[in-house]
């Protein structure tokens, strides 16, 4: 997958956008000849833009013989285009609402089947998810937080988080979402073996409700 911002920006080119919209509306993969005829572009121009969409992760390529024939004499498979199986999301500032929805849904379903309080399950799952994310992190606290979109900022040793990936949810359901956030960051810190800072709830304007304070020595 290309950079999501670059992928979305690739659709700003008018002909490229027309080709993308045409391909994704079809019920079967499309050849460059079909696409170029539908959009009214030369074949070479259509092929260039289609391949650029593949490079950006917006389309997939497959090769198949539409005649259904196989073996010698069947001819070369056609190069066909279809919508990519990737999901591309761009949010500025960085938001992770889909991740929150999975955590909340899983917690609710588990609570229904086990009788355990949903909030306890949510916090546990958030902690486990943070620990899983740590496996992809560099091992340095601020870099790990940057990778998840928290926008960490040093404030005399204390790390303030300039962005909450669950901002609108936290505005409406502050205690629930901030508690989830605290457990998520706690799992991330424990997962990377961070011993320099401790996460705690400390809401303040224009910051995430969690801040990291230096660990006492």
In a domain, 92, yes or no: no
Same domain, 115 and 207: yes
At residue 2, the pLDDT reads: 61
* Confidence band, pLDDT 50/70/90 cuts, at residue 196: confident
Same domain, 104 and 189: yes
CATH of the domain at 78: 1.10.10.10
Same domain, 122 and 71: no
Same domain, 19 and 60: yes
Q: Which residue, 59, 83, 107, sits at the end of a domain?
A: 83
Domain range for 198 is 97-214
Evaluate if residue 99 carries a pLDDT over 80.
yes
Secondary structure (3-state) at 148: coil
Mean pLDDT confidence for 141-162 = 90
Residues paired with residue 211 on neighbouring β-strands, in sequence order: 160, 200
Mean pLDDT confidence for 73-92 = 82
In a domain, 182, yes or no: yes
Same domain, 75 and 101: no
The number of distinct structural domains making up the chain is 2
Same domain, 102 and 150: yes
Same domain, 104 and 186: yes
Question: pLDDT tens, 61-75?
Answer: 998 876 665 555 556
In a domain, 189, yes or no: yes
Same domain, 53 and 112: no
Evaluate if residue 198 carries a pLDDT over 80.
yes
At residue 71, the pLDDT reads: 55
In a domain, 88, yes or no: no
Same domain, 116 and 65: no
In a domain, 38, yes or no: yes
The per-residue DSSP string of 15-28 comes to: HHHHHHHHHHHSSS
Q: Using CA atoms, how far apart are residues 11 and 58, in angstroms rounded to an integer?
A: 9
Same domain, 50 and 107: no
Mean pLDDT confidence for 166-180 = 93
At residue 73, the pLDDT reads: 56
Does the pTM surpass 0.85? The reply is no
Same domain, 57 and 160: no
Q: Which segments within the chain are labelled E, that is strand?
A: 30-31, 59-64, 78-83, 152-155, 158-161, 197-201, 210-214
């Amino acid at each position: 997958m290309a950079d999501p911002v670059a992928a979305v920006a690739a659709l700003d080119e008018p002909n490229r956008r027309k080709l993308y919209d045409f391909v994704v509306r079809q019920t079967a993969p499309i050849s460059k000849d079909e696409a170029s005829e539908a959009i009214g572009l030369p074949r070479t121009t259509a092929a260039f833009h289609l391949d650029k969409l593949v490079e950006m992760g917006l389309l997939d390529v497959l090769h198949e013989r539409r005649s259904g024939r196989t073996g010698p004499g069947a001819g070369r498979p056609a190069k066909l285009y279809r919508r990519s199986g990737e999901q591309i999301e761009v949010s500025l500032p960085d938001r992770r609402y889909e991740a929150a929805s999975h955590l909340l849904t899983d917690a609710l379903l588990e609570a229904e089947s086990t009788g355990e309080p949903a909030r306890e399950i949510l916090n546990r799952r958030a902690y486990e998810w943070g620990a899983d994310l740590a496996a992809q992190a560099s091992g340095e606290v601020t870099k790990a937080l940057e990778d998840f979109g928290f926008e960490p900022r040093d404030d005399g040793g204390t790390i303030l988080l300039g962005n909450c990936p669950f901002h609108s949810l936290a505005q409406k359901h502050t205690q629930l979402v901030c508690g989830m956030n605290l457990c998520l960051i706690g799992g991330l810190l424990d997962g990377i073996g961070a011993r320099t800072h401790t996460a705690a709830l400390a809401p303040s304007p224009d910051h995430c409700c969690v801040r990291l304070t230096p660990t006492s020595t």
